[in-house]
């Protein structure tokens, strides 16, 4: 997927989808529900559909009433809820693959782009447009409680990010233990390397400090203290 113009008759159009919110892209919040994904023991946060409902609540996809409706729908159709959880996790892994490739300036995987495209198509189909106050506003076609609400909104979020101006600012945490969290680097000089300053960033600073302190306090008689000295 690319922000560039498509070939042929559609070349005159450019997709522009904007996510409104100050807490970061919803799609990256989803990818980060699997933490330490590059370590030997990844930490999974979405074990059940109830976890997905909680995610929707925390990330503002659903308010309290909408989350309750979503939970009731899931309780009434357990197999469908389980299938939707699986589909959401499939999208999550596709998004991680796409954004991790973007962070490395690598070619985006076509299979993962296809998964995102299918979910985005479904999201577009879930919307209608109504004239309000002299404007066309998008409104959901379905009633609250639709099981796919998280997956479809995360797909729209991903398209907005991948096709937007911040696509090149997506990075993967540089923590050497395999953190794997994704984030958008909005620093002025694009120098951010870690997901959270208080976690991986703090550990990196402490490690650097210990290494520097160790080199400064090494006994003068140690071999490294004389390394590089010229013989008189």
How does pLDDT run across 124-183, given as a tens digit for each residue?
Answer: 999 999 999 999 998 988 777 899 999 999 999 999 999 999 999 999 999 999 999 999
At residue 203, the pLDDT reads 58
Determine, yes or no, domain membership for 13: no
Distance of alpha carbon 90 from alpha carbon 96, whole angstroms: 10
Residue 101 lies in a domain: yes
Q: Is residue 117 part of a domain?
A: yes
pLDDT at 224: 47
A 10 A CB-CB count for 13 gives 9
- pLDDT for position 14: 83
Note whether residue 231 is domain-resident: no
Indicate the DSSP class of residue 220.
Answer: T
Res 21: pLDDT: 75
Domain holding 145, by residue range, is: 23-215
In a domain, 15, yes or no: no
Q: Is residue 202 part of a domain?
A: yes
Would residue 69 count as lying in a domain?
Answer: yes
Give the CATH number for residue 153. Answer: 1.10.3300.10
Nearest to 21 by CA among 190, 161, 145, 118: 161
Query: Which candidate, 5, 86, 91, places its Cα nearest to that of 51?
Result: 86
Tell whether pTM > 0.85.
no
Count of structural domains within the chain: 1
Residue 162 counted as domain residue? yes
Q: Which residues of the chain have pLDDT under 50?
A: 1-2, 204, 209, 224-232
Q: Is 49 exposed, middle or buried (0-12, 13-18, 19+ CB in 10 A)?
A: buried
């Amino acid at each position: 997927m690319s922000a560039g113009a498509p070939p042929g008759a559609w070349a005159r159009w450019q997709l522009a989808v904007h996510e409104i919110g100050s807490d970061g892209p919803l799609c990256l919040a989803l990818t980060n529900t699997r933490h330490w994904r590059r370590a030997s023991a990844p930490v999974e946060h979405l074990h059940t559909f109830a976890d997905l409902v909680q995610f929707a609540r925390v990330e503002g996809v659903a308010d309290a009433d909408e989350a309750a409706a979503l939970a009731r729908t899931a309780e009434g159709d357990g197999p469908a809820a389980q299938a939707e959880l699986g589909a959401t996790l499939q999208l999550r892994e596709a998004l991680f693959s796409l954004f991790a490739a973007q962070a490395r300036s690598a070619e985006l995987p076509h299979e993962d782009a296809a998964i995102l495209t299918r979910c985005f198509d479904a999201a577009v189909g879930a919307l209608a447009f109504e004239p309000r106050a002299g404007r066309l506003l998008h409104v959901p076609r379905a009633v609250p409680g639709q099981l796919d609400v998280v997956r479809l909104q995360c797909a729209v979020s991903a398209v907005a990010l991948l096709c937007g101006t911040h696509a090149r600012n997506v990075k993967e945490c540089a923590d050497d233990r395999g953190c794997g969290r994704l984030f958008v680097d909005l620093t002025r000089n694009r120098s951010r390397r870690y997901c959270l300053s208080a976690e991986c960033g703090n550990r990196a600073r402490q490690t650097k400090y210990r290494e520097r302190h160790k080199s400064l306090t090494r006994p003068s008689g140690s071999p490294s203290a004389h390394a590089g000295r010229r013989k008189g």
